[in-house]
A and B are shown apart, each in its own frame.
Chain A
Amino acid sequence: METLLHNLALGFSVLANPIVLLYAFGGVLSGVIIGALPGLGPSVGIAVLLPLTYGMDPSAGIILLAGIYYGAMYGGSITAILINTPGDSAAVMTTLDGYPLTLKGQAGKALGMAAYSSVMGGTVSVVAFMLFAPIIASYALAFGSSEYFALMVLGLTSIAGMTGDSPSKGFLAAFIGLFISLIGLDLVTGVQRYVFGNVHLFSGIDFIPVAMGLFGIAEIITDKGDMKLDIDKESLKFRNLFPNKQEWKECLPHIGRGTGLGFFVGMLPGAGATIASFLSYSMAKKISKRGDEFGTGVLEGVAAPESANNAASMGAMVPMLTLGVPGSGSTAIMMGALMMLGITPGPSLFMKEAEVAWSLVASMYIGNVFLLFLGILGLPIFVRVLKVKAPILNSVVLAFILIGAYALENSMFTVGITIFFGVIGYFMKKLKVPAAPMILAIVLGYLTESNLRQALIIADGSFIGVITKPISAVILVIALIMAFGSPIMEMIKKKVAAQ
């Protein structure tokens, strides 16, 4: 306990720097704005604003990105409640009761409850993160290259198998991502792979221009146009943002359950905030005395998914920071950003880079305070942002993407790659091929290959020797279940039903 408090104090000492604090505030503010804009979820926000962290101190960089991440998780609920359009998939469940509340003239109360439950879910999850992460990291210290290879496979199969409608499309995206990660010099043998004399490709294709293209440019192209905002301004007044005592009494148990559920679901690779909010809403509907009224505009229907999705965003950081295996598109981009800043996430992060790791934990506490502050006082500003016309917003975002892509390597070639992946991203979106597995595969590609090759060298070239090591075998079995579990279960169910 003493060590924990000492580490936390170390984290807070970094935040004593006003500049770092400003980054945390800026991150949360940008996150809420980005999250509130339909389509621009946490992945897009982090991808587009990533260039801001170039050359930054690693602690400040990751604090900024984490702020964008959980800010966007809350921001997604603003449009979900006001115009029945979720800012990102994790806010879909919030529309079910959030929008009916707006129709009843209680938009302020719904937005207030979304802010309180997000902050509560987020804050309690930070405590859980602080307790769990170092324990998982200490166990993972015993992992060798074969266990790491198995973990990478788990990360990739779970996200490919569980994202989108069709696992085969998820896997296609993941394998294309793996292939992209192989372009450049083979760092083991020094052989050029798929370079064909192009000097720009010698160091490979970075994940940042790919992410900016797949998420950013593709989103601009598929933009549906301006939103129609018709809100009762009276309901957004400060005094109307606070639920009454009875409403608190009804919502608090759901916030507690949603937080616990969200954190653990968030830790599972591939599951993420969307599934957490769905499960939390379903659980609340079953448990609540007013279960029948869910969907007609009850505050519990906002509190349950909102606490769960913010808790899940904290939970998702556990495997990313302790094992170096991101479980979602957003955490994959954050992991790539950390590597770009010279920090390698993994079990040794909490020992070798204790300052970075613990300053991130400390920033989450402060960030949640900022989130509450912004969620309550900044609401009128966010509503104004929603009124900015789509072409104006898109032109600014596109400008940011293009100049950000250039700044990555001071090369127009990178801008070309971003545009190319923008085109690919558009077609992927239309064909319902998820982009997150591709990004995750690009980030993990090199590590997966090098760990497998190292493991094979240690096992004298025996692949069976690599996959039958006890921990690797268990992880790989879980990976197989994650990848093929749901289609197999569906087939069994259909056969049983047919009989």
Chain B
Amino acid sequence: MKLTLKRGNNILGMTGIVGGMIIIALALYQELPFMKKELPGSGFFPILCGIAIAGCGLLILIENKYKAKKALEEGVEDSELDEDLVNKIEIRNFVYTIGISIFVVMATPFIGILLSIGISIVAMIKILGRESITKAIIIGAVTTFILFLIFSVFLGVPLPSSYIGI
């Protein structure tokens, strides 16, 4: 199934409406009062935001429908709304970038943040760049060392280390 801008806009609009309603429902669930002693309570802004988000979602749906109808009336075949939103390169980038980032979060408690980041750089260069492993390791090591100097030495950030102290 092709994910076009038209379909994406419909999903966005629906998500906005549902999201806005969830925000309002959660405000009520948490007993955040809209008004308290004739003044705005802690639920005032969240509920307004929920209504506004749902309203924007509805507007996006209407606008999308209007644009699609207009394109049909004018006989435009390849309108902006029919363009495919995702391509193979982006799906690959998405999977690897997010996957590698999640790896850093998961691996940090075990091998420390610097080592996890070093491995992630090597992996990203090797997989997405198809560079030689030697080049990837050199870049990974140099970058990790520079990050160590900036954050640990210069800024004094206590970076989480591994069991072996790196």
Of all chain B residues, the one with the shortest Cβ separation from A399 is: B117
Q: Which residues of B contact A402 (CB under 8 A)?
A: 101, 104, 113, 117, 120
Q: A166-B63, A399-B120 are in contact. Are A192 and B30 (CB under 8 A)?
A: yes
Total contacting residues, chain B, CB less than 8 A: 65
Question: B157 near A: Cβ within 8 Å?
Answer: yes
Check if A54 sits within 8 Å of B42, measured CB to CB: no
CB-contact partner of A189 in B42, B63, B101, under 8 A: B42
Chain A residues with Cβ below 8 Å from B153 are: none
Residue of B nearest to A223 (CB): B93
A231 near B: Cβ within 8 Å?
no
Nearest B residue to A396, CB-CB: B143
Point out the residue from B32, B52, B102 that lies within 8 Å of A193, measured CB to CB: B32
Whether B121 and A395, one on each chain, are in contact in the complex, defined by CB atoms closer than 8 angstroms, is yes
A223 to B128, CA, bound (A): 11
A179 with B53: CB separation less than 8 A: yes
Residue among A178, A392, A432 with the highest chain B CB neighbour number at 10 A: A392
A398/B59 contact (C-beta < 8 A), A191-B32, A403-B151, A433-B12 known = no
Judging by beta carbons under 8 Å apart, are B97 and A179 in contact? Answer: no
Cα A406 to Cα B94 with chains together (Å) = 21
Complex interface: chain A residues within 8 A of B125 (CB): 391-392, 395
**A259 to B140 alpha-carbon distance, docked (Å):** 44
The answer to whether A194 has its CB under 8 Å from any CB of chain B is yes
B105 touches A398 (CB 8 A): no
Q: Are A406 and B53 in contact (CB under 8 A)?
A: no
* Contact (Cβ within 8 A) A412 B105: yes
Q: Chain A contact residues: over half helix, strand or loop, or mixed?
A: helix
Contact status B90-A54, CB under 8 Å: no
A222 touches B143 (CB 8 A): no
On whether A179 and B46 interact (CB within 8 A), knowing A191-B32, A223-B93, A453-B40, the answer reads: yes
Contact between A430 and B101, CB atoms less than 8 A apart: no
CB distance from B4 to the nearest CB of A (A): 11
Asked if A221 is at the interface (CB within 8 A of a chain B CB), the reply is yes
B116 CB to nearest A CB, Å: 9
Complex Cα distance A133/B33, Å?
Answer: 41
Provide the bound-state CA to CA distance between A400 and B124, in Å.
14
Task: Select B56's contact among A55, A172, A194, A430, beta carbons within 8 Å.
Answer: A172
Question: Looking at the complex, which of A104-112, A374-382, A414-422 is the stretch in contact with chain B?
Answer: A414-422
Interface residues of A in 136-194 (CB under 8 A from B): 166, 168-169, 171-172, 175-176, 178-179, 182, 186, 188-189, 191-194
Q: How many A-B pairs with Cβ below 8 Å?
A: 175
* Distance (whole angstroms) from the CB of A430 to the closest CB of chain B: 5
> Would A431 and B45 count as touching, CB distance under 8 A?
no
Q: Does A485 contact B (CB under 8 A)?
A: no
CB distance from B122 to the nearest CB of A (A): 8
Given contacts A166-B60, A172-B56, A222-B90, contact A194 B42 (CB under 8 A): no
Does chain B have a CB within 8 A of A203? Answer: no
Q: How far is the CA of A141 from the CA of B89 in the complex (A)?
A: 52
Q: 1/0 per position for A415-445, CB-CB distance to B under 8 A? A: 1101100110010001111000000000000
Complex contacts, B108 vs chain A, CB 8 Å: 412
Residue B76 is within 8 A (CB to CB) of chain A in the complex: no
Instruction: Select from chain A the residue with minimum beta-carbon distance to B104.
Output: A402
CB-CB under 8 A for A169 and B113, given A221-B90, A391-B128: no
A235 within 8 A of B: no
Interface centre among B89, B93, B101, B143 (most CB of A within 10 A): B101
- Cα–Cα, bound, A166→B45 (Å): 24
**A–B Cβ pairs within 8 angstroms, 12 of them:** A51-B151, A166-B60, A189-B42, A194-B46, A217-B97, A394-B128, A395-B121, A415-B104, A419-B98, A430-B85, A452-B40, A461-B39
Other than the given A415-B104, A430-B86, 11 more pairs (CB < 8 A) read A168-B60, A217-B97, A217-B101, A224-B89, A395-B124, A395-B128, A399-B121, A404-B151, A412-B108, A415-B101, A456-B40
Shortest 9 CB-CB distances between A and B: which pairs?
A391-B129, A395-B124, A172-B56, A168-B59, A391-B128, A186-B42, A461-B38, A179-B49, A407-B157
